[in-house]
Chain A
């Protein structure tokens, strides 16, 4: 698989805290939940991030799609919830989301592919909505 296709990066013309608020709102509007959240410097010990700028990983899912993904094989939990990286870059905020199932040439747990793909699509729609609210662009 092509990891380049798996990665989507957005740049929001908002400061970190405001961008995070917009993202949370957009995710909620799409019935997506932030199930767990990590502060990159605090939880994961990324010392460069500690010095440079605030950064968080939001673990995002939709309970119904998570249930679908895990229904036949709990191994799908390896891919769900999805990781959304939110990082401050000066006065702007970069948001990255990866479709983890697209990173590898490997057979996914039974029944996981479609709900995970739908979850990724929904997350991307939510981020694009947040982007429109911030009036910025993506690349």
Chain B
């Protein structure tokens, strides 16, 4: 049964635009690459004419690719990892995937193991500027 949350949330005591810049900065300092970004709230407003709270997705990858996607297509499902920054009143939230260890005794797929390393680096970087919200497990 899925008891643990699939994502981690961090609170940053800064408004949205500043928080996005801070996240970019700490990821760069951790030698992680932001290979792209998506203004999700802007995209939804353009497509649906619906205003939502500011939300940007940063796409992060390790500085060097650990392996070829041709060898393991599942790795492409998790690379680059999405880092979601959204406004939360005068503060901001950052959401990242929690690549959890498997509890069923089966070995990790290589893609999941590689993503866990990347996720750990991202979490360590974001913990420098944000406070982790309750896991709610």
Chain A residues with CB under 8 Å of chain B are: 3, 6-7, 9, 33, 35-36, 38, 40, 43-49, 52-53, 55, 57, 59, 63-64, 66-67, 70, 74-75, 77-81, 83, 85, 87, 89, 94, 96-98, 100-101, 103-109
Contacts and interface: CB of A to CB of B under 8 A. Distances in A.
Contact of B2 (A64, A80, A100, A106): A106
| A interface SS class | mixed
| B interface SS class | mixed
Given A3-B112, A70-B52, A104-B100, A38 B36 contact: yes
A26 B136 CA distance: 40
A60 B84 CA distance: 16
Contact of A109 (B6, B63, B73, B109): B6
A100 B77 contact: yes
Interface of B: 1-7, 9, 33, 35-36, 38, 40, 43-44, 47-48, 50, 52-53, 55, 57, 59, 61, 63-65, 67-71, 73-74, 76-80, 82, 84, 86, 93, 95-100, 102-104, 109, 111-112
B32 to A, nearest CB: 12
A9 B84 contact: no
Contacts of B7: 75, 78, 109
B93 A74 contact: yes
A44 B70 contact: no
B48 A105 contact: no
A104 B69 contact: no
B69 A40 contact: yes
Contacts of A55: 69-70
B69 A46 contact: yes
Contact of A77 (B3, B78, B95, B99): B95
B38 A107 contact: no
Contacts of A9: 73
A55 B113 CA distance: 22
Given A57-B79, A59-B38, A105-B104, 4 more contacts: A44-B79, A63-B43, A105-B103, A106-B4
A107 B104 CA distance: 16
B96 A78 contact: yes
Contacts of B47: 33, 63-64
A52 B96 CA distance: 32
